[in-house]
Amino acid sequence: MRWEGNEESDNVEDRRGMGGGGGFPIGGRSIGLGTVVVAVVAGWIFGINPLTLLGALSGGGSPVVQQQAPSHAPRNDRETAFVRTVLRNTEVVWGEVFREGGAQYRPPTLVLFDNSTPTACGTGQSAMGPFYCPGDSKVYIDLRFYDTLRDRLGAPGEFAQAYVIAHEVGHHVQHLLGITDKVDAMRRRQSEAQANATSVRVELQADCFAGVWAQRSQESKQWLDPSDIAAAMNAAEKIGDDALQRSAGRAVVPDSFTHGSSAQRQRWFMNGYKSGQVKACDTFNASTL
Ligand SMILES: [Zn+2]
């Protein structure tokens, strides 16, 4: 991905090095669906109970994490510039898409943090992986997740990292379109299995929106080559629920899926990428996912 030298977003809140390490991890009021989902996913990634994991991260039992915090300085390092550049491009692309639809896009803020940070959806934890909180319209990411993605999940490549941001921005787009509120109301009336199935449709739509962004950004920037798309496809495969469950040594249980299988995640990213159209992302009315 040839992203260097492109415009960077100012909608980044850098909370790194602010010492957000204390407190019990799952505090605060209602924790958003996405947060719970990523906590569970983190549990799968690391193969242990997320609570144990979160406790270990916040209870001072993990000196490595504490020591790594200052390593993000200086704040304008290459990785930060990359995140700002991708975020800026999502602003341009979604600005266009919303204008085409006669609406105005309000960009999210992207929060960089380490260890833990307060959010309108409860306390955000690094171990949860990146997430979006509709309550404050912010995307939260600890950039060390990219190390996990590359080293533990086997998904290297800058465009895999861009896809992660684009997926979270996809959740913001869902929020702006009123989909998040509708889905939350729906989930409250559903059984656990039904609610999980609904979550899968939410997540696959965010993947599809990431594909829409990728296609439109490519059209204007020509900054991707086939290996970039392959890196995103590989990431979609590696973070499919079935792949995560298998890599954590568990039996694959489709009813417990909340993000979709590897094949589904790849398919919906491609639906968005091939068409560049939001209307290609109607996962809620799709007969097959
Ligand atoms: Zn998601």
How much is the pLDDT for 86?
A: 98
For ligand 1, the distance from its centroid to the CA atom of residue 40, given in whole angstroms, is: 12
| Prediction pTM value | 0.81
Average pLDDT along the chain, 289 residues, taken 10 residues at a time? 96 87 41 49 47 40 40 72 98 97 97 94 88 95 92 92 96 96 94 92 96 97 94 89 76 80 95 97 95
- Ligand 1: distance of its center to the CA of 260 in Å? 10
Question: How many A from CA of 18 to the centre of ligand 1?
Answer: 26
- State the Cα–Cα distance between residues 135 and 98, nearest whole angstrom: 21
pLDDT at position 246:
78
pLDDT score, position 259:
86
Residue 130, classified by CB atoms within 10 Å of its CB into exposed (0-12), middle (13-18) or buried (19+), is buried
- Cα of 56 from ligand 1 centre, angstroms: 24
37 alpha carbon – ligand 1 mean position (Å):
8
pLDDT on residue 244:
76
Instruction: Give distance in angstroms: CA of 67 to centre of ligand 1.
Output: 29
Give the whole-angstrom CA distance, residue 143 versus residue 117.
Answer: 14
pLDDT, position 20: 58
CA of 167 to the centre of ligand 1 (A): 6
Which amino acid is present at 78? R
Tokens of 222: 């020509």
The conformational region for residue 131 under phi > 0 = left, psi -120 to 50 = alpha, else beta, is beta
